[in-house]
Amino acid sequence: MATIVLGVCGSIAAYKAADVASRLVKLGHEVHCVCTPTALQFVTPLTLMTLSRNPVITTFEDETGSWVPVHIELASRADVLAIVPASANTMACMAQGLAPNALTSLYLANRAPVLIFPAMNGNMWNHPATQQNASILRARSGHTIIGPEDAGMLACGVEGQGRLVSVDKIVESIIAAL
């Protein structure tokens, strides 16, 4: 059984993280969800807590139960950190080493393999800033970016690049990284 930290960002695709958490738990893994504050506009901690069978970390206030900061403790136990979905903003924070929330702080403390599953509008993905951040992350040891899909109907109503890869592919990639 592996310890999988599932980072969830503020994307319309965030609800798919609930399915990923559920499948990983059914495969016998220990799953901990860490959400950005914006992710909570898209998916509830109650859903993620119930499906992951663990408390969800959403803000630093969630970390008052232990003298060791939970984001540090989780980072030290993680066998893999998967960001599902990864927003342009969180990828930028990761690339630049900014840590304004529990997820980005955990990312800096983490030494396990990092799988990044981007989901965003095609123009956001193809923006030079996002592409540069993706290149920085790809070049970093232990980091893999999977997706986004090259084509498909996006939540913003246009056809194009930017969709999150399938839940099947996400689960397969996480298992393969363990």
Ligand X SMILES: Cc1cc2nc3c(=O)[nH]c(=O)nc-3n(C[C@H](O)[C@H](O)[C@H](O)COP(=O)(O)O)c2cc1C
For the annotated catalytic residues, the residue numbers are 156
Q: Which residues in the 70-129 window bind ligand X by CB under 6 A?
A: 87-90, 119-120, 124
List 6's β-bridge partners, or say none: 33, 82
The verdict on 7 binding ligand X (CB under 6 A) reads no
Of 74 and 120, which has the nearer Cβ to ligand X?
Answer: 120
**How far apart are alpha carbons 160 and 163 in whole angstroms?**
8
Distance (Å) of CA 64 to CA 7, 50, 98: 20, 21, 22
The verdict on 147 binding ligand X (CB under 6 A) reads no
**How far apart are alpha carbons 42 and 39 in whole angstroms?**
5
**How far apart are alpha carbons 92 and 130 in whole angstroms?**
7
Among 2, 12, 72, 109, binds ligand X (CB under 6 A): 12
Of 51 and 119, which has the nearer Cβ to ligand X?
Answer: 119
The verdict on 52 binding ligand X (CB under 6 A) reads no
The nearest distance, CB 89 to ligand X, in angstroms, is: 3
Among 38, 47, 50, 76, binds ligand X (CB under 6 A): 38
The nearest distance, CB 101 to ligand X, in angstroms, is: 6
The verdict on 11 binding ligand X (CB under 6 A) reads yes
Given a contact cutoff of 8 angstroms between Cβ atoms, the answer to whether 97 and 21 are in contact is no
Going by C-alpha positions, the residue among 83, 149, 145, 80 that lies closest to residue 120 is 149
**Interaction site with ligand X (CB under 6 A):** 9-13, 36, 38-39, 87-90, 119-120, 124
